[in-house]
A and B are shown apart, each in its own frame.
Chain A
Amino acid sequence: MTYIFDGSLPGLLTAVFEWFERKPGKVVLKSIEIFQPEAFAESFTVTTNSEKADRVWAGLQKKLKKDWLLKFYCSYLSEIPEAYNHLFQFTLYIFQNEKGAESNYGNEHVIALAKFAKSVEREKHRMEAFIRFQHTADGIFYTSIDPDFNVLPLISNHFKNRYADQQWIIYDLKRKYGLHYNLNTVEEITISFTEGINKQKPAPSVMDEKEELYAVLWKDYFKSANIVARKNTKLHVQHVPRRYWKYLTEKQLS
């Protein structure tokens, strides 16, 4: 039996609710995006229902501590198709067992969630590290990113707390939405970019007059801090994988 849901978190939680209502035995959860009908397998399409979802979430909150609720949410944000089914099975497993069952690292769904969450948290941490703001002429600190996972919801508070006295925008080019901090709250925004504009590095004309100087000073610093006699390219690339170089001011040639 396959359960099909719309890919949303409430959808996933509703699926759990429906399973307990019907008790259909073994079920695999798939998102509508990747679902391919099979000739002999039955399927059931879950209709997302926020009340049912809330009840399941409230139930999870009773069973799990904060760290595991976060792992659950992070795994969901990975957007990996297999993660959805593991989340579904994990939730059934948690509800069917005594409190504390999440520490059974011998269970395949527990260990799967721990791994998905670790990947997502690593990507979150990388964004906190590798984001480089550019100071625009209208005073906003701007950056665009395209992270492997949907981490904007996870990094919002970090940047809000850290840069409380400056306006900033972090824009996810892959998922086409961003965050704007307006000195009070963080709002979700979408930007309609003009055709042909460089989204990564806007033209110098729209930049603060000191922006170029500090970018150059930072590149200088990056070079000066290196000890040539200890050159270790393998380690360097291990810590800063090539796909992140496009974010980094210090890795740009001009």
Chain B
Amino acid sequence: MSDRIREKLNILADAAKYDVSCSSSGGTRKNDNKGVGDSHTSGICHTYTEDGRCVSLLKILLTNHCIYDCLFCVSRKSNDVKRAAFTVDEVVELTMNFYRRNYIEGLFLSSGIFKNADFTMERLLLVCKKLRLEQRYNGYIHLKTIPGASDELIKEAGLYADRMSINLEMPTEAGLKLLAPEKSHADVIKPLGFVQQNIVQFAADKKLIKHVPKFVPAGQSTQMVIGATPESDKDIMYTANAFYKNFALKRVYYSGYVPISNDSRMPILGTQPPLLRENRLYQTDWLMRFYGFKVQELLNDANPNLDVDIDPKLSWAIRNMQHFPVDINKADYRMILRIPGIGVMSAQKIVQARKFGKLRIDQLKKIGVSYNRAKHFITCADSPYQLRDYQGTQIKAFIMAESQSKYLKTDSNQMILF
């Protein structure tokens, strides 16, 4: 018995791991029925795998049997891998026992499509209902919306899940058609829109009626595989931006393609996943969501790809030196946020602290500003007098000389003399 469940877990966890979302934030469920589970608004990462990714949820497929043959997916029909399927009760028991031992924040349940979309969605829904109703479980549930499932099933699932997601898979329709001719972005847009409409509707009802059940309280997310098809960073981020805007998504995830197929349309097996590029995309995503940048400022026809050697915020600053130096003691919050070396927390502290007197360098350092970087872009109470204005390119050289990228094993600028 235990050997069989171990084998299933190995197969179905292995197949689920390429879905990078593991966030458990945004849950609002409270343990008000003396059951088990209580959401933590900011989520909790219970451990990290050796690749440095957080493990917050038990992320598994219900089954890796699939009727589709998408080239980028390990569970594609034509791939020769071991197949397995959990029963509904097995998933429930695993979740409860892991949760009770404080291993996890909740369940992330996805599935290959077996028979048809509705049949699959029904099984996923059944797991959620058993957890919520029979086990009185208030922990986190992230549920995959199965494209093509009926509206009724999706709507019912939304009453039990905290977050729902559907993956765009490829950043552009053309890329998707290349690797998964049976799929299209429209299949994703329809259910994303449907869930979004319901979220808005439930929120509106809640204003009028006291007891409205929760509907996907942690919102929706999606994922794009990057580096499998030849899109530019601009293509990727413009798509992300449109989905953030149109569907009020909580997150877009960017997953560097890990080669799993020998097909000639994709990077060959053994190619390194594009980790640096992935990192730069996430930095851009953060700048859009928390730093007030418009995507057009960071990526445009003149700069369709992000710099490899410096981060996008520094890159923007160097292209726009006319905005600098910024006076820390006078500039408004939005401009302070744009200074390289100053994050959201430091910016907030600066704006509060300067009401009590002009800030000096030593205070900025204590507040948490990365001064070596920021010094090129700011003036404060005791900034040293500068005789000349430096060009953006010179500043870039200064900063690069004193920092070492964690991605570059050897410094490409360094000359070897002997």
Q: How far is the CA of A101 from the CA of B355 in the complex (A)?
A: 10
- Distance between A67 CB and nearest chain B CB, rounded to angstroms: 13
**Most chain A CB within a 10 A radius of its CB, from B36, B51, B97:** B51
Q: Which residues of A contact B352 (CB under 8 A)?
A: 103-105
Contact of A217 among B6, B18, B45, B353 (CB under 8 A): B6
Q: How far is the CA of A231 from the CA of B258 in the complex (A)?
A: 12
Answer whether residue B378 sits at the interface, using C-beta atoms and an 8 A cutoff. no
- Distance between A9 CB and nearest chain B CB, rounded to angstroms: 26
**Most chain B CB within a 10 A radius of its CB, from A143, A218, A250:** A218
Chain A minimum-CB-distance residue to B105: A129
Q: Which residues of A contact B52 (CB under 8 A)?
A: 230, 232-236, 238-239
Taking CB atoms and an 8 Å cut-off, the chain A residues in 115-164 that contact chain B are 125, 128-135, 141, 143, 158, 161-164
Stretch of A30-38, A41-49, A208-216 contacting B (4+ beta carbons < 8 Å)? A208-216
- Distance between B336 CB and nearest chain A CB, rounded to angstroms: 13
Contact of B47 among A125, A217, A222, A231 (CB under 8 A): A222
Q: Is B50 a contact partner of A166 (Cβ separation < 8 A)? A: no
Q: Is B46 a contact partner of A104 (Cβ separation < 8 A)? A: no
**Most chain B CB within a 10 A radius of its CB, from A131, A220, A226:** A226
Answer whether residue B213 sits at the interface, using C-beta atoms and an 8 A cutoff. no
Q: How far is the CA of A235 from the CA of B49 in the complex (A)?
A: 10
Q: How far is the CA of A234 from the CA of B406 in the complex (A)?
A: 10
Contact of A222 among B49, B272, B359 (CB under 8 A): B49
Q: How far is the CA of A162 from the CA of B212 in the complex (A)?
A: 23
Q: How far is the CA of A224 from the CA of B54 in the complex (A)?
A: 13
Q: Is A129 a contact partner of B51 (Cβ separation < 8 A)? A: no
Chain A minimum-CB-distance residue to B33: A164
Chain B minimum-CB-distance residue to A163: B36
Q: Is A132 a contact partner of B102 (Cβ separation < 8 A)? A: yes
Q: Is B101 a contact partner of A214 (Cβ separation < 8 A)? A: yes
Q: Is A233 a contact partner of B101 (Cβ separation < 8 A)? A: no
Q: Which residues of A contact B266 (CB under 8 A)?
A: none
Taking CB atoms and an 8 Å cut-off, the chain A residues in 195-254 that contact chain B are 210, 213-214, 216-218, 220-236, 238-240, 248-250
Contact of A131 among B6, B14, B102, B259 (CB under 8 A): B102
Q: How far is the CA of A102 from the CA of B221 in the complex (A)?
A: 38
Taking CB atoms and an 8 Å cut-off, the chain B residues in 94-148 that contact chain A are 94, 97-98, 100-103, 136
Q: How far is the CA of A248 from the CA of B45 in the complex (A)?
A: 13
On whether A227 and B17 interact (CB within 8 A), knowing A106-B363, A162-B31, A233-B50, the answer reads yes
Q: Which residues of A contact B356 (CB under 8 A)?
A: 101, 103-104, 106-107
Answer whether residue B325 sits at the interface, using C-beta atoms and an 8 A cutoff. no
> Binary interface profile of B, 45-61, with partner A (CB < 8 Å = 1, else 0)?
11111111111001100
Q: Is B31 a contact partner of A240 (Cβ separation < 8 A)? A: no
Q: How far is the CA of A226 from the CA of B94 in the complex (A)?
A: 19
Answer whether residue B37 sits at the interface, using C-beta atoms and an 8 A cutoff. yes
- Distance between B211 CB and nearest chain A CB, rounded to angstroms: 21
Q: Is B38 a contact partner of A222 (Cβ separation < 8 A)? A: no
Q: Is B35 a contact partner of A166 (Cβ separation < 8 A)? A: no
Q: Is B35 a contact partner of A229 (Cβ separation < 8 A)? A: no
Q: Is B136 a contact partner of A225 (Cβ separation < 8 A)? A: no
Q: Is B34 a contact partner of A165 (Cβ separation < 8 A)? A: yes
**Most chain B CB within a 10 A radius of its CB, from A131, A135, A143, A224:** A224
Q: Is B45 a contact partner of A239 (Cβ separation < 8 A)? A: yes
Contact of A224 among B17, B38, B102 (CB under 8 A): B17
**Most chain A CB within a 10 A radius of its CB, from B35, B44, B58, B102:** B102
Answer whether residue A111 sits at the interface, using C-beta atoms and an 8 A cutoff. yes
Contact of B54 among A103, A227, A239 (CB under 8 A): A239
Q: How many residues of A contact B (CB 8 A)?
A: 55
Q: Is B98 a contact partner of A129 (Cβ separation < 8 A)? A: no
> Binary interface profile of B, 316-335, with partner A (CB < 8 Å = 1, else 0)?
00000000000000000000
On whether A133 and B101 interact (CB within 8 A), knowing A105-B352, A106-B356, A161-B38, the answer reads yes
- Distance between B288 CB and nearest chain A CB, rounded to angstroms: 24
Q: Which residues of B contact A223 (CB under 8 A)?
A: 10
> Binary interface profile of B, 344-377, with partner A (CB < 8 Å = 1, else 0)?
0000011011111101100100110000000000
On whether A220 and B34 interact (CB within 8 A), knowing A107-B356, A165-B136, the answer reads no
Q: Which residues of B contact A128 (CB under 8 A)?
A: 40, 44
**Most chain A CB within a 10 A radius of its CB, from B31, B259, B354:** B31
Q: Is A106 a contact partner of B357 (Cβ separation < 8 A)? A: yes
Q: Which residues of B contact A210 (CB under 8 A)?
A: 97
- Distance between B30 CB and nearest chain A CB, rounded to angstroms: 7
Q: Is A163 a contact partner of B353 (Cβ separation < 8 A)? A: no
- Distance between B158 CB and nearest chain A CB, rounded to angstroms: 24
- Distance between A3 CB and nearest chain B CB, rounded to angstroms: 25
**Most chain B CB within a 10 A radius of its CB, from A129, A135, A223, A236:** A129
Q: How far is the CA of A168 from the CA of B42 in the complex (A)?
A: 24
Q: Is A248 a contact partner of B47 (Cβ separation < 8 A)? A: yes
Q: Is B38 a contact partner of A162 (Cβ separation < 8 A)? A: yes
- Distance between B46 CB and nearest chain A CB, rounded to angstroms: 5
Q: Is B9 a contact partner of A224 (Cβ separation < 8 A)? A: yes
Contact of A225 among B13, B34, B360 (CB under 8 A): B13
Q: Which residues of B contact A107 (CB under 8 A)?
A: 356
Q: Which residues of B contact A164 (CB under 8 A)?
A: 31, 34-36, 38
On whether A161 and B100 interact (CB within 8 A), knowing A216-B6, A236-B49, the answer reads no
Interchain residue pairs with CB less than 8 A apart (25): A101-B356, A104-B356, A106-B363, A125-B44, A129-B44, A129-B46, A129-B47, A143-B102, A158-B40, A161-B31, A163-B100, A213-B2, A216-B2, A217-B98, A220-B10, A220-B13, A224-B10, A224-B14, A225-B55, A227-B51, A230-B52, A230-B258, A230-B273, A234-B406, A236-B49
Task: Identify 11 new A-B residue pairs, CB closer than 8 A, beyond the known A103-B355, A229-B272, A233-B50.
Answer: A103-B356, A105-B353, A162-B38, A164-B36, A225-B14, A226-B17, A227-B17, A227-B258, A230-B53, A232-B51, A233-B52
